[in-house]
Chains A and B, each alone.
Chain A
Amino acid sequence: MLEITGLHVEFGGLHALNNLDFTVEEGEIVAVIGPNGAGKTTFFNVVSGMVKPSEGELIFEGRSLLGLDPNKITARGIARTFQNVRLFNNMTVLENVMVSQHCRTHQRMFDALLQTRRFRTEEEQVRIRGQEVLGFFGTRLTGYRFDQPASMLSYANRRRLEIARAMATSPKLLLLDEPVAGMNPVESAELTQLIGKLRNEMGFTIVLIEHDMSVVRDISDRVVVLDHGEAIARGSYAEVSANPQVIEAYLGQTSDGN
């Protein structure tokens, strides 16, 4: 589904990503792990179009993503969440998921001004679809919460709304940047289950960045380990966690004799 070859990203001489190859098959859940500063978020930024790579090729469903603006990439079917929750805080919960259907809707300004049939039916559809997406998270984001500003949500609910907002763009590939960061164990176990459901029931292909190894172990089909912008290991969780290079990247080099 997504094929990335020879990806280089430089920030003024610093190699954030170095000759990265990466593939995702349809229906997979791939976890990207690595120590801080390994280039994980940069990798997401490149795939979602927010950072332009200096070299390399990104093919999504047989067509290149290079040079496309983020909104075009979203329209092609890749949606993402952000590590440091970036909701539209002063818009309501429902508006957050309505605005992200922008690229799937077609009304023009004149439709809104003249209140045409197209405008009304589409607004209704957008609203219903938004409510459906929020309903995926149980009752947490529904009911009176529809009309609450996003800034009033609890932290965990904001994370959920971020995922909902990405889902509302009707993507094929979902990029989740540390979806359970800052959650307590109960919440994170619940969200892990939910991510599984996203794949099994909604049919999204998922790439996620995660630091919480229990989450990675529970849901990922494959794990890719990044360090200094390079992929140092790939494979199942068991394989990767036994890889000495990975242990070294996380814990530092052991000194001789110890």
Chain B
Amino acid sequence: MTVTGEFPTAQSALPAAARRRRLLDQDWQKLVRAGAILAFGQVFIALSGMPVTFDRRLLIDPILSLGYLSLLWLPLVVGYWVGREQVLEGMTAYARGGRDAMAGAVAGLLGNAGLTLLVVGITHFDIRDPLVNWSPQLLEILEFGESVWLGALIWPVIGAGTGALGGGMHWASSRISRTTVIVLLSVFGTAVLESVITDLTQGFHIEAVSDWLYGPKRGLTYPAAIVVAVAAAGVMTGLAAFRDSSARAAEAARGERATTVGGSGATRPRWRRIPTRRLVNLVLAVAAIVVLPLFLGRLTNELLANVGLFILLALGLNIIVGLAGILDLGYVAFFAVGGYSVAVLTSPGSPRFDAEIPWFGALFVAMLLAGLAGLFIGAPVIRMRGDYLAIVTLGFGEIIRVLLLSDWLSGTFNGAQGITNIPGVEVFGLATVRGFEPRSVLYLVLVFCAIAVYVSWRLENSRIGRAWMAIREDESVAEAMGVDTVSAKLMAFVTGAVLGSFSGAILSAKVGSIFPHSFAIIVSIVILVVVIFGGMGNIAGVIAGAVVLIGVLGGPNQPGLLQEFAEYKILIYGALLVWMMLQRSEGLIPSARRARELHVDEMNQDAWLRAQVVADDVANEGGNREKGRP
């Protein structure tokens, strides 16, 4: 935290052109701190078991396995991070150069010394008892199958190298560094997404592509990796050239127009506009969504269907948490009600009702029951606020699961054995949706997602939507302004519950069997993480959150794109959530409101500046001057 370290006083006296620093003119304290963090991270990753688990998973055929990659990426990131420097407004930035690479190298060296310690530690001590991965296998990987000496010495060297690469990113122009990142990510992506890409090429009948890309032992072949890298670099360069030319065109166009005094903020009267371009994009997106599943393979369709189930859940929870501001930690209850209602009513194997009701009839009952459950859970918690409310909803979520599991109700729900033999969905004699046909499931899910999006969108801009937002902002004031808070909050619970029950109902028909353990508390947590990660209160954000988290990492019981990481899913969830809250607390695609809420100060300052500009304009026109205060 030393200011003098970041801005050496001796330097600031020099003229601006000479703001260049020697290689060893470093903020050593910062580097040591970064090294310590890196060391902790590397040892943590090593002991989490990732290197051992992923050792056999080749990414690029002979050279790189996912196991080694798990130990390579962090020095790169930390190297980049130590080279980062904030340039304050009005100050001349230091010239970037070898010093940045040096900083990265030092941090990487220090950090990977942690792995050296680990190598030495594993050879001399045995603490496998608490640390399962403190094992000879890990040691072998860290030694590259050679000797302890090699292992102990090579890691700091690797760390210095990758760290220097990370720090060197600042040295290179932003275009080059961006291209490098994209190239690395493309190679990594093509390698990790092997199964999905194979699935896709089968869908489009171009299996030859995947046969060529991937070797017999999985993993990209050597030449394929180079081709992917070159292709990615080519695309990036092409894009940059295109952007340059369009920027030049825009520049030329701007030159012709007279420049306005107030800047864009002052001349734009409305905050939200819906340009026609957005409408066109929307239509194209819908068309793509409808057509695409036809070309996708089983695996991808299955994956997208799972994403869709979570989009439904997240949209439902978004109404409760994002719009009405009620922190519900037991949302899985509504998922369970939907799933079990359909299971009990449609399955010939359900213990109580052997009458087999068609799925749509059962769905109707499920909606009713979920709505009732929303009322039952909502009614007692409606008078509570904040933490208390969250804890009580958490309890209700568990109560539902325990009831499903209980002996008392096993006559209906069959306890831990669950309900099996749930038939698929007969869509009015036109088609049948069954779990073993993921494409049909995906279409069914998409229809319900469309319904949920429509409902969320319409309700947000209505009397009840405004009431929810007012409650989120300040509940007692909302009540004093005539909002019936009790019924509005109950409506939020009921609406969210019904949307959640859709998801459960589809899950039942998709999987064909249903068990209480599918509705554990982790499901509630994951849905909440999806909503927070994506952007609370924003439909697009929630969808993006589900696609990224559930699609890429996978749901609590569903595999995602990165199937390899299934074991570490929750760890990655946690890390992502922490990072997100620190760096971008409003979520991936924040709602305008939510972003405002979290950046009120900055926004107020902007508004003040804008007000000043407007006031100046008014004064210049000789009109009344606005007495604006910040």
A: residues with CB less than 8 A from B are 48-50, 69-71, 74-75, 79-80, 82, 86, 88-92, 95, 98-105, 107, 109, 111-113, 115, 119, 122-123, 126, 140, 143-144, 147-149, 151-152, 154-157, 165-166, 169, 184, 186-187
Contacts and interface: CB of A to CB of B under 8 A. Distances in A.
A91 B466 CA distance: 9
17 contacts: A71-B480, A75-B482, A88-B473, A88-B477, A89-B473, A89-B597, A90-B473, A90-B594, A99-B466, A102-B467, A105-B463, A109-B495, A113-B458, A143-B269, A154-B627, A156-B629, A184-B627
Contact of A154 (B483, B484, B593, B611): B611
A149 B603 CA distance: 10
Interface in B456-509: 458-459, 461-467, 469-470, 473-474, 476-486, 491, 495
A129 B104 CA distance: 62
Contacts of B271: 92, 147-148
B269 A103 contact: no
Contact of A151 (B458, B462, B596): B596
B558 interface: no
A115 B476 contact: no
Nearest to B455: A113
A112 B479 contact: no
B245 interface: no
B485 A123 contact: no
Contacts of A75: 482
B270 to A, nearest CB: 5
A151 B495 contact: no
Contact of A112 (B269, B463, B486): B463
A70 B479 contact: yes
Residue with the highest number of chain B CB atoms closer than 10 Å, among A89, A103, A109, A119:
A109
B395 to A, nearest CB: 26
B216 interface: no
Q: 9 closest Cβ contacts across the A-B interface?
A: A103-B482, A112-B462, A74-B482, A152-B607, A88-B473, A100-B481, A99-B466, A144-B269, A90-B593
A195 to B, nearest CB: 19
Interface of B: 269-272, 454-455, 458-459, 461-467, 469-470, 473-474, 476-486, 491, 495, 593-594, 596-597, 600, 603-604, 607, 611, 626-630
B462 A123 contact: yes
Residue with the highest number of chain B CB atoms closer than 10 Å, among A50, A74, A102, A122:
A102
A112 B468 CA distance: 14
A99 B593 contact: no
B288 to A, nearest CB: 26
A69 B479 contact: yes
A95 B469 contact: yes
Contacts of A49: 480
Contacts of A187: 627
A64 B461 CA distance: 35
Contacts of B478: 88, 99
A103 B603 contact: no
B618 to A, nearest CB: 10
A166 B482 CA distance: 10
Contacts of A156: 627, 629
Contacts of B626: 140
Contacts of B270: 144, 147
Contact of A107 (B454, B462, B629): B462
Contacts of B461: 112
B459 A100 contact: no
Nearest to B629: A154
B473 A80 contact: no
Contacts of B597: 89-90
A100 B607 contact: no
Given A70-B479, A152-B607, A169-B482, A147 B272 contact: yes
Contacts of B480: 48-50, 70-71, 74, 80
B478 to A, nearest CB: 7
B482 A152 contact: no
Nearest to B593: A90
B593 A115 contact: no
A70 B596 CA distance: 29
Residue with the highest number of chain B CB atoms closer than 10 Å, among A50, A74, A88:
A88
A33 to B, nearest CB: 23
Given A98-B466, A144-B269, A151 B600 contact: yes
Contacts of A103: 482-484
Given A90-B593, A109-B464, A79 B604 contact: no
A64 to B, nearest CB: 19
A156 B629 CA distance: 8
A46 to B, nearest CB: 12
A109 B483 contact: no
A148 B607 contact: yes
Nearest to B611: A154
Contact of B593 (A98, A112, A149, A155): A149
B482 A115 contact: no
Contacts of A82: 477
B135 to A, nearest CB: 52
A90 B596 contact: yes
Contacts of B458: 112-113, 115
A240 to B, nearest CB: 29
A73 B466 CA distance: 20
A156 B469 CA distance: 24
Contacts of A111: 462
B476 A50 contact: yes
A50 B476 CA distance: 8
Residue with the highest number of chain A CB atoms closer than 10 Å, among B480, B629, B630:
B480
Contacts of B465: 112
Contacts of A95: 466, 469
A70 B476 CA distance: 9
Contacts of A112: 458-459, 461-465
Contacts of A89: 473, 596-597, 600
A173 B479 CA distance: 17
A234 to B, nearest CB: 27
A71 B482 contact: yes
A246 to B, nearest CB: 30
Nearest to B467: A102
Given A69-B479, A112-B458, 11 more contacts: A50-B476, A92-B271, A99-B478, A100-B482, A102-B483, A109-B464, A123-B462, A147-B271, A165-B481, A169-B482, A187-B627
Contacts of B483: 71, 99-100, 102-103
A78 to B, nearest CB: 10
Residue with the highest number of chain B CB atoms closer than 10 Å, among A71, A75, A140, A186:
A71
A119 B629 CA distance: 38
A86 B481 CA distance: 11
B629 A155 contact: yes
A71 B479 contact: yes
Contacts of B459: 109, 112-113
Contacts of A102: 463, 466-467, 470, 481-484
A221 B3 CA distance: 61
A149 B596 contact: yes
